[in-house]
């Protein structure tokens, strides 16, 4: 009789271990899914299966990797400008600095401003514009390459349903920089 009892206990232990594993996997899938911006999903998160959530996560991670590679290339080109010719400098930045680029990633925004050392403006002004338009600044940094200063500001949308009107942000940044 002992073998039957120990066999049943072992079976219950395996069931419990499996149940805990499934609960942990479900929790991890939910955690992963919550990190993906809502605009990356087709439909609502509540309705899609865990397999679809994992597929969307894999797709999103691949997209992020591609973005990183593109940014690395842009950075290398920008650094190469310092060592390169002035015609490339004019092609990329025009004859007037500062210039800016705003990228809308749905739930986050990236603003890159390239200025010369002699052009002085305050980064807090960029931050103020973003915050006034409904974004919360997550990070701000700068780097100097030769006579150019590269400012990068990352912000997240405060209220995802409302979002941020990027055309208005662009207009205000253009007014600030010029």
57 is a domain residue: no
Cβ neighbours of residue 102 under 8 Å, at least 6 residues apart? 109, 110, 111, 166, 169, 170, 173
Q: What confidence category does residue 50 fall into, taking pLDDT thresholds of 50, 70 and 90?
A: confident
Tokens 């490339």 label which residue?
Answer: 88
Q: What are phi and psi of 84, to 5 degrees?
A: -90, -160
41 is a domain residue: no
Q: When comparing pLDDT for 138 and 41, which is higher?
A: 138
Using the predicted structure, report yes or no on whether residue 139 has a pLDDT greater than 70.
yes
89 is a domain residue: no
Query: Can you give the residue range of the structural domain that contains 27?
Result: 2-34
pLDDT at site 56 = 84
Per-residue pLDDT, averaged over 85-111, amounts to 66
Using the predicted structure, report yes or no on whether residue 83 has a pLDDT greater than 60.
no
Using the predicted structure, report yes or no on whether residue 45 has a pLDDT greater than 70.
no
55 is a domain residue: no
Burial class (CB within 10 angstroms; exposed 0-12, middle 13-18, buried 19+) of 115: buried
Per-residue pLDDT, averaged over 105-110, amounts to 82
CATH of the domain at 122: 3.30.70
154 is a domain residue: yes
Q: How many residues does the chain have?
A: 178
Using the predicted structure, report yes or no on whether residue 92 has a pLDDT greater than 70.
no
48 is a domain residue: no
Q: When comparing pLDDT for 57 and 80, which is higher?
A: 57
DSSP secondary structure of 81-101: HHHS-HHHHHHHH-SS--EEE
109 is a domain residue: yes
List, in sequence order, the alpha helices (H) in 35-85: 50-83
Question: Which of 140, 108, 107, 103 has its CA nearest to residue 124?
Answer: 140
Q: Is the dihedral of CA 129, 105, 165, 112 positive or negative?
A: positive
153 is a domain residue: yes
Give the rounded percent of residues in the chain with a pLDDT score beyond 70.
Answer: 79
Domain count, the chain: 2
- Kindly report, residue by residue over 108-131, the tens digit of the pLDDT: 888 888 887 776 667 888 888 888
């Amino acid at each position: 009789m002992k073998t039957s009892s120990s066999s049943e206990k072992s079976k219950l232990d395996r069931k419990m271990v499996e149940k805990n594993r499934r609960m942990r996997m479900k929790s991890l899938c939910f955690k992963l899914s919550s990190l993906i911006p809502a605009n990356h999903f087709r439909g609502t998160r509540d309705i899609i299966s865990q397999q679809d959530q994992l597929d969307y996560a894999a797709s999103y991670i691949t997209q992020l990797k591609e973005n990183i590679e593109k940014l690395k290339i842009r950075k290398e080109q920008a650094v190469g400008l310092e060592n390169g010719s002035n015609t490339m400098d004019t092609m990329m930045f025009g004859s007037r600095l500062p210039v800016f680029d705003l990228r809308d990633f749905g739930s986050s925004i990236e603003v890159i401003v390239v200025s010369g050392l002699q052009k002085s403006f305050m980064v807090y002004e960029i931050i103020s514009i973003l915050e006034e338009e409904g974004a919360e600044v997550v990070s701000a940094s700068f780097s100097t390459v030769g006579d150019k200063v590269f400012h990068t500001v990352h912000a997240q949308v405060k209220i995802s349903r409302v979002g941020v009107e990027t055309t208005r942000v662009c207009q205000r940044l253009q007014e600030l920089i010029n």
